[in-house]
A and B are shown apart, each in its own frame.
Chain A
Amino acid sequence: MNLFKLSWKYLTFRPFSTGLNVLLLALGLAIITVLLLMQDQLEKKMNEDAEGIDLVVGAKGSPLQLILSSVYHIDFPTGNISLEEARNLSRNRLVKSTIPLALGDNYQGFRIVGTNLDYLELYKTEFETGQAWSKPFEVVLGAEIALKLDLKTGDQFIGSHGISEGSHDHDANHFLVKGVLKPKGNVVDRLILTSIESVWLTHKEEEENEDSPKNVNLSEVTLHGLPLSDGPKEITTLLIQYRNPMAAIQLPRLVNSRTNMQAASPTFEMSRLFELLGVGISMLKGLAFVLIAISGIGIFIALYNSLKDRKYDLAILRAIGASRFQLLQMIFLEGILLTFFGAILGILIGHGFLDLIVRQNQSGVMTSIQPWIFLKAELWILVYALTVGVLASLIPAFTAYQTSIAKQLTKA
């Protein structure tokens, strides 16, 4: 027997009171864990996904929507811009490089993105199997899609119109999987990538409905730069990299005032979004702290009440040789053990909850969150919980320290 075991026995002797307090504390800490994990991973992910993209140019509308739709592939696109205008802009001396995107189709909820090979280079992707597209209707799959839809190189599928599930299918066009990318943990994992021409051809056939001669050469696609085309064509957005810092000041203004398009900066829009979310996050944080405070009070009351029942026990311990200091230690140990288990449980609940959310989201941003990554900040949760334990046991421990043995045991 030792002090640790004795404290443990006393805790398990009152399973309901102990359990309730552990649970209350765990819930508070679980909320904090979830917030920590989300904040850390979402922010990291958001920054990663937007790396190398200084400016997004698209149709007029909400700048946030433009960023969400063409950088993170969450929201709906604002509309299309003319290829001609995009080409003019790409020739501007402030622009270092551009990547065109053509959105508008999906396969089982995963977006089909028409672009060029520069997009693959932007995210430094590597191929798990196969290679990049070289003809229309050849696609490259993100790792997550290949896994979830069980597609591999050589398979075929039919895309649907619209960027979310449940719209009509483009029956005529079979996409051929040419390659599958290695998992990168970023937005590309959830995308079906193809050439801009593939997207054009899909919609072209829909519009014309007859076997008219096609404007685009069926056997060729543009691998780098903007595609050439005879007639007026549209793309959805243009991702731009600045040539110099000066561009950050001049280019957005130029686009917004002199063209029919709008320009939005991912960094700026994202910090605006986090600012908006901030209110909700601080409310959740507040709730977590209230829960933790209540559990702290709960632990205090539980220890204090149990001391009333244990006055004799404490006196007996003194009579069989325990020092005052050992009794003090015992009560502290109980508080600390209680909060330690609360913290461990809380962290596990937090991760488990996130795991559940990720499992329930099939194709959203949440899917790229890793629920079982442990952060250093979680050690602080443990420290924080133990502090609550020590604080809550302060008064009960002191009371135990002061218990007079003679009065308890031999009331004459």
Chain B
Amino acid sequence: MLLKTTDLAFSHPGQKTIHFENILLEAGESLLVIGKSGSGKTTLLNLLAGLAKPDQGEILIDGQMFSKLSGQKLDLFRGQNIGIVFQKPHLLSPLSVIENLKMANFFSKIKNGNLSQILDDLGLMAKKDASVLTLSEGEAQRVSIARALANEPKLILADEPTSSLDDENTYKVIRLLQEQARKIGAGLIIVTHDQRVKDHISKFIEVKAS
């Protein structure tokens, strides 16, 4: 079992507590988290990424009680085991493409000799040493996926990765994420309100504000 959550609950200040369905995910498996805007699906992603602390419940990642970690240990565990693809690429603009990936290795204290391979898989080899300011939107997003893969994480979280893409590119990005996750044996969780993604990933949970 790669990821196991039990009875997660979280409440934003002054709002009703959101209770989340339990999640079970095996390595190499993909899961969709869907829900309307404001339903709390991003909150769930924050909890899974350790960016926010649950009020109740536990998160177990790869046998580690993730929800009990804090401070530096949490940061390091996140860096080493969880790759996050954000809605916007948010690349570090003073750096080149490869440096953005190396930065992830540096902070997580991981040595990865496969960075070039990852860039190659994502069709970014030609842009390896380019400044990230010169990338197109699509390229920037692929770099942000590459960065999430740079530490060969056990779990990949993607936050609305397809919201601004057309059908064809949506399909490409989802397939890319799935391929790469399978390649390194990682679990993949995609949080989205995009119904099109459902055509590609069958397993899903729905978050509803209750």
Contact = CB atoms under 8 A, between A and B. Distances in A.
B25 to A, nearest CB: 20
A387 B78 CA distance: 35
Q: How big is chain A's contact interface, by range?
A: 20 to 34
B91 to A, nearest CB: 8
B72 A323 contact: yes
Given A1-B99, A13-B94, A319-B49, A410 B78 contact: no
B94 A410 contact: no
Nearest to A411: B42
B107 A409 contact: no
A9 interface: yes
Given A409-B86, A410-B51, A412-B38, A318 B75 contact: yes
B90 A322 contact: no
A71 B51 CA distance: 77
Interface in B133-163: 147, 150-151, 159
Contact of A320 (B72, B79, B95): B79
Contact of B105 (A1, A317, A406, A412): A1
Contacts of B42: 410, 412
A317 B106 CA distance: 10
Interface in A1-45: 1-3, 6, 9-10, 12-13
Contacts of B104: 320-321
Contacts of B94: 9-10, 12-13
Contact of A325 (B37, B72, B91): B72
Contacts of A405: 51
Interface in B88-146: 90-95, 99, 102-109
Contact of B102 (A1, A317, A319): A1
Interface in B1-45: 37-38, 40, 42-43, 45
A14 to B, nearest CB: 9
Contacts of A76: none
B106 A1 contact: yes
Given A1-B105, A410-B86, A321 B79 contact: yes
A326 interface: yes
Contacts of B45: 410
B165 interface: no
Contacts of A325: 72
Given A317-B107, A410-B87, A412-B38, A323 B76 contact: yes
A323 B71 contact: yes
Interface string A361-379: 0000000000000000000
A85 interface: no
B80 A321 contact: yes
9 pairs of A and B residues whose beta carbons are closest in the complex? A321-B79, A13-B94, A321-B108, A406-B51, A321-B107, A412-B42, A9-B94, A320-B104, A1-B102
Interface of A: 1-3, 6, 9-10, 12-13, 312-313, 315-326, 405-406, 409-410, 412
